[in-house]
Amino acid sequence: MSQAAAGAEVTHRLVSSPAGRIHLVEQGSGPLVLLVHGFPESWYSWRHQLPVLAAAGYRAVAIDVRGYGRSSKPEDVAAYRMLELVEDNVAVVHALGEQTAVIVGHDWGAPIAANSALVRPDVFRAVGLLSVPYAPRGGPRPSEIFARMGGDEEFYISYFQEPGRAETEIEPDVRGWLAGIYAALSADTRPSAGAPDPLSVSPGGTLRDRFPAGRLPAWLSTDDLDVYAGEFERTGLSRALNRYRNVDRDWEDLADFDGAPITQPSLFIGGALDAPTNWRADAIEAYPTTLPGLVSSHILDGCGHWIQQERPTEVNEILTGWLASLPA
């Protein structure tokens, strides 16, 4: 287990936010770097980055996003809309006695970080995105796009829309389901070329029908899996899944930002074998327009979806190099 996960020089805190409270894990001192996880993860997904960023002279803070871990879990599905999560991030910065921060996100954390920078450029002076490229708001409703992506099957985001449906699949065996999705999207355990897409559901089927079984990816120890499973067995999955159930609300809420670029200094890291990075190759090509402050963009060969856990050394080198390049 890493130094951060073991608790050395790490502080766990609860701070007030519009959600009620946000749980965070903090290490180091210096300019604030806020780390935002994705699904189905927690602050723990940044365990390899916390000590390295701290050693490089930064105040590294990884949060449990609203609905996860020890953070508050409002019951209303609409409480998980993007603008609410942006305000949580702003509240964390201020609760820590800071006025500005660099924000870095992975998976769902990437659009949360991107929109935090877009909506509150006064607070978030730079933004790093892992796995999910930035694409400005625009086009049809997201639910319509995802319905088309499924084709004759059902794309996983569409599958997640109905409250209770995915929970019925996951919650009888949280640990097994998590092991399956982590393996399905990891470079060393993903299904072989030509196998059915593990992020689509066949008629009458479930996601886990297509998950690999029998071995964990190299980046995930049994102890790591215990941490993730323990959190979700305690909290359930509904609040985490509610993020997916707000994609159309987000589209409506962000209408004033239609087509808007993010102008702060930015960074992108994707995996060559990472599905969201490949789906949005067009978004990466558009970065000169949509991310005019882009400092560097990296695609890691042979890397899957769980970038900062699969390739911690490379990600840490890229992150610290980028952070060092930013204006003070």
User: How does pLDDT run across 178-230, given as a tens digit for each residue?
Assistant: 999 999 999 999 998 889 999 999 999 999 999 998 889 999 999 999 999 99
- Mean per-residue pLDDT, 139-151: 91
Given a cut of 50, whether residue 7 has pLDDT beyond it is: no
pLDDT digits (tens, 9 = 90+) for 308-327: 999 999 999 999 999 999 99
Distance between CA atoms of 89 and 56, rounded to whole angstroms? 23
Does position 2 have pLDDT exceeding 70, yes or no?
no
Give CA–CA dist 233/237, Å, rounded: 8
Distance, in Å, from the CA atom of 105 to the CA atom of 107, rounded to the nearest integer, reads 7
Note the pTM of the prediction, 2 decimals: 0.96
Burial-class residue 23 by CB neighbours within 10 Å (0-12, 13-18, 19+). buried
| Catalytic (active-site) positions | 107, 305
Check: CB of residue 289 under 8 Å from CB of residue 261. Answer: yes
* Residue corresponding to tokens 């701290």: 54
3-state SS, residue 78: helix
pLDDT-based confidence at residue 277 (cuts at 50, 70, 90): very high
State yes or no: pLDDT of 6 exceeds 80: no
End-to-end CA distance of the chain: give it in Å, rounded. 33
CA-nearest of 86, 36, 302, 97 to 186 is 302
**Using CA atoms, how far apart are residues 65 and 159, in angstroms rounded to an integer?**
22
Distance separating alpha carbons of residues 276 and 239, to the nearest angstrom: 22
With the C-alpha atoms ordered 47, 186, 272, 144, is the resulting torsion angle positive or negative?
negative
pLDDT tens digits, residue range 289-311? 999 999 999 999 999 999 999 99
Structure tokens at 22: 């946000």
Over range 256-283, report the average pLDDT. Answer: 96
Task: Round to whole Å and give the CA distance between 4 and 139.
Answer: 41
24-39 pLDDT tens trace: 999 999 999 999 999 9
Helix segments in the chain, DSSP class H:
3-6, 49-55, 82-95, 109-119, 142-150, 156-159, 165-170, 174-184, 222-235, 238-241, 247-253, 275-279, 281-285, 287-290, 307-310, 312-325
Do 11 and 31 contact (CB within 8 A), yes or no? no
Question: Scanning the structure block, which residue is given the tokens 């180091």?
Answer: 28
Closest residue by Cα to residue 307 from 320, 318, 292, 295 = 318
State the chain's mean pLDDT as an integer: 95
Percent of the chain with pLDDT over 70: 98
What is the DSSP pairing of strand 200-201 with strand 154-155? antiparallel
> Which residues, in sequence order, are bridge partners of residue 63?
24
